[in-house]
Amino acid sequence: MAARVANCPNCGGRVEFKAGSSLLSVCTYCGSCVARVGDDITQLEILGKVAPLASVASPLYLGLSGKYQRKGFTLVGRLQLDYGLGPWNEWYASFDDGRWGWIAEAQGKVYVLFGRELTGLPPYSHWRVGTSFQIGGKRFSVTERRKARFVSAEGELPFAVAPSTEFKYCDIEGEDGSFGTLDFGSGEVLDQVFVGVESEYAALFAKSDLRETTAEAPSAVGLNCPNCGSAVALRAPDEAQRVTCPSCSSLLDCVQGSTLNLLQAAKRAGPDPAIPLGAKGSYKGKKWEVYGYMVRSVVVDSIEYSWDEYLLRGNDRSWRWLTCSSGHFSWVDPVGAGAVRGGYEPILAGRKFKLFQSASARVKSLRGEFYWKVAVGDVASAEDFVSPPLVLSKETTSEEQTWSVGTYLTPAEVTAIFASEKKLRLPSPTGVAPNQPNPHDKTRSSVLKLAGILTAALVLVSFGVKARSHALDIYAATHILEKGGKPDANVVVTEPFQIEKTSNLEIQVSSDVSNSWFFVGGALISEDTGTVREFSVDVGYYHGYSGGESWSEGSTSDSVYLGGVEPGKYVMRLDPQWDSVGYNLSGAQGLQLATQYQIRAVSDVFLWSHAFTFGALLWIFPILIVALYSTFEKRRWAESDFAGGEE
């Protein structure tokens, strides 16, 4: 890359403009911001001097070369911005094909951004966090809306502005994981749009070229509390923005890991964490250490509910949260806003979540060190959406919106993560957590699936058995009833009939009753063996009008079934009885006492009742499991601000 060289107007030192797109170069000798006037470098002006670069841990440095999408680039400048909660780096990259872009770093992540031509977007005052809009057919959401100050720089920059200039910007995220920035400069009108993607250092640069930034054993910096004078050790001095004094619990502001300023003197110490600060563990193939601990709370119906949040730092310099509420733990990972679709029932990675609760979350107490400028009393609007074992959380302030997803962990799983901590005493879970897995879920799914398969098999078998059932009429007769005769005048012994194979036998009885009843006691007698099987059939039919409406109950016919009747010759002995008065109360109409009855015997009859009975028995256990599952879900959603969560 051919450099254009000039002399600093302030000190005469060598100033280079390596990239053709560079408009400003920071003098390495005096720190002056030297801007070129026009297209050449014969006219230069000084816009001011930059402050010393803040110590921000990064494996990148000026002159580092890399590749993106097979195109080579070189880092020719670094810009440090700060919106009041800590500085961050943005690296100006000059590509071999003449393009230029930004390599931005934030909390262990790296982004590659390029300028886009975009017109018609509203001014800065219009935008709010959560606002959605389209770029090239893709949906983007605003995740951050802030004003940042130009703090420092080195090398070259593609714009010519004075140090301490304030920039207005909105960070945006897209559905496909894309990331971008709406840059409004120092005014209201949109100046530039940068869009790109999240990447990894290893994908952009050769590992051997990166600067070593091992986080396994960071060097601690020892300072003293300005409130009580006690020693305060910073385990991550290059990233810590806030730290609490271990002696007086005062909240202290960290200035580049070398100075502590008193922010809040604690009235009283907060609760002791169940997992001590400095505790080390392993999870998801990474090593983690507890750096911070905070207690947060919400107020619902004048009742305060609090929970614990542990800040963990990974050996790759990433940050995660471990939350604990009523003894229930969740491992919390950040999620890009663009990856979340929908509103009331958002969808993440094809999984639908249901709104569980919404409230204002407040920071109650702090311990340890934190990578952002947190303070007791900080408030954010928080919404939780559940799809056990996951909880999707959205936190919104006037300047920022963040999404995260928590995975439920049992105390035993947390103990396993911190296995080296021998005296770990975790609280026992109480109640049901929003994202706690239903212990009956897997059983319910497998049992319902098995019950469905067995029910389908039962139906198929039933139709098969029904198809093979012959339902043979082996006897039928009508008997006239004699009234006023001897007691046994109506006793009948039927003609013999033959049953060909072992099967059931249906005995059907019907009578001409109306608002009266008829009964027959009978016996099936084997002429071959002399065995007797008794049976009885009772019929009654009643009907009339009441209150202007008709009613009826009973029937003029009924059946009884005898099972396992062996082959052979049989007769039936029938002893009928009937109503001699009838039902003639108000509303009853059409009295008819029995005058005759019909009897019919049918062999080998298929009974759906057997299939229904077996099916009912089959579903007892699944219904019990479903009831247990539903009871658990009712307990879960009883804690929700919103109804309709139970499925």
User: Across residues 524-537, what is the average pLDDT?
Assistant: 96
Both tokens of residue 314?
């990974």
pLDDT attached to residue 82: 86
Highest mean pLDDT among 96-110, 239-253, 531-545: 531-545
Which burial class, exposed, middle or buried, applies to 533 when counting CB atoms under 10 A from its CB (0-12, 13-18, 19+)? middle
Query: In the structure, how many helices (H) and strands (E) does the chain have?
Result: 5, 42
Q: State how far the Cα of 192 lies from the Cα of 119, in Å rounded to an integer.
A: 9
Both tokens of residue 79?
């810009």
Q: Which of the two residues, 580 and 612, has the higher pLDDT score?
A: 612
220 pLDDT band, cuts 50/70/90, is low
Q: How many CB atoms lie within 10 A of CB 132?
A: 12
DSSP helix/strand/coil, 596: strand
Per CATH, the number for 218-269 is 2.20.28.160
Cα radius of gyration rounded to whole Å, the chain: 42
Residue 646, pLDDT above cutoff 60: no
Residue 560, pLDDT above cutoff 80: yes
Residue 215, pLDDT above cutoff 50: no
DSSP helix/strand/coil, 199: strand
Average pLDDT of the chain is: 89
Q: What is the DSSP letter of 339?
A: G
Give tens-digit pLDDT for 428-485: 999 999 999 999 999 999 999 999 999 999 999 989 888 888 889 999 999 999 887 6
Residues 6+ apart with CB under 8 A from 83: 146, 147, 148, 149
On whether the 472-605 domain is CATH 2.60.120.1300, my answer is yes
Pairing mode, strands 347-348 and 351-352: antiparallel
Contact 601, 522 (CB under 8 A): no
Residue 5, pLDDT above cutoff 60: yes
Instruction: Quote the distance between the C-alpha of residue 313 and its chain's center.
Output: 24
Residue 234, pLDDT above cutoff 90: no
Q: What is the DSSP string of 83-133?
A: SSS-EEEEEEEEETTS-EEEEEEETTEEEEEEEE----PPPGGG--TT-EE
Question: Which segments within 513-646 are labelled E, that is strand?
Answer: 516-526, 532-546, 549-555, 557-565, 568-578, 596-603
* Percent over 90 (pLDDT), the chain: 61
pLDDT attached to residue 592: 84
Contact 77, 153 (CB under 8 A): yes
User: Across residues 511-516, what is the average pLDDT?
Assistant: 92
Q: State how far the Cα of 512 lies from the Cα of 293, in Å rounded to an integer.
A: 86
User: Across residues 357-382, what is the average pLDDT?
Assistant: 92
**Angle at CA 478, nearest 5°, toward 472 and 479?**
135
pLDDT attached to residue 216: 39
Residue 295, pLDDT above cutoff 90: yes
Which burial class, exposed, middle or buried, applies to 154 when counting CB atoms under 10 A from its CB (0-12, 13-18, 19+)? buried
Most distant CA pair in the chain: distance in Å? 142
Question: Which segments within 397-499 are labelled E, that is strand?
Answer: 401-409, 472-480, 492-493, 497-499
Q: State how far the Cα of 461 lies from the Cα of 459, in Å rounded to an integer.
A: 5
Contact 427, 324 (CB under 8 A): yes
Handedness of CA 54, 59, 60, 63 (dihedral sign): positive
Q: Where do the structural domains in the chain lie, given as residue ranges? A: 4-208, 218-269, 276-437, 438-469+608-647, 472-605
User: Across residues 123-140, what is the average pLDDT?
Assistant: 89
Contact 447, 621 (CB under 8 A): yes
User: Across residues 7-30, what is the average pLDDT?
Assistant: 90
pLDDT attached to residue 217: 41
Give tens-digit pLDDT for 383-420: 999 999 999 999 999 889 999 999 999 999 999 999 98
pLDDT attached to residue 584: 63
Q: Which of the two residues, 563 and 647, has the higher pLDDT score?
A: 563
56 pLDDT band, cuts 50/70/90, is confident
Give tens-digit pLDDT for 239-283: 788 888 888 888 888 766 567 777 777 667 778 999 999 999 999
52-55 long-range contacts, Cβ below 8 Å, gap at least 24?
52/152, 53/78, 53/80, 53/152, 53/154, 54/80, 54/82, 54/87, 54/151, 54/152, 54/256, 55/237, 55/238, 55/256, 55/257
Residues 6+ apart with CB under 8 A from 70: none
28-34 long-range contacts, Cβ below 8 Å, gap at least 24?
28/154, 32/8, 33/153, 33/160, 33/162, 33/163, 34/6, 34/8, 34/9, 34/10
Residue 182, pLDDT above cutoff 90: yes
Q: What is the DSSP letter of 399?
A: S
Q: Tokens 């999240």 — which residue?
A: 198
Residue 118, pLDDT above cutoff 90: no
Instruction: Quote the distance between the C-alpha of residue 54 and its chain's center.
Output: 39
Give tens-digit pLDDT for 582-638: 766 555 567 888 899 999 999 999 988 888 989 999 999 999 999 999 999 999 999
pLDDT attached to residue 156: 93
Helices 441-468 and 620-637 pack at an angle, to 10 degrees, of 150
Residue 214, pLDDT above cutoff 60: no
Q: State how far the Cα of 214 lies from the Cα of 315, in Å rounded to an integer.
A: 7
DSSP helix/strand/coil, 616: helix
Cis peptide before 389 (omega within 30 of 0): yes
CA distances from 261 to 234, 376, 557 (A): 14, 16, 96
pLDDT attached to residue 571: 96
Which residues are paired to 330 by β-bridges?
323, 408
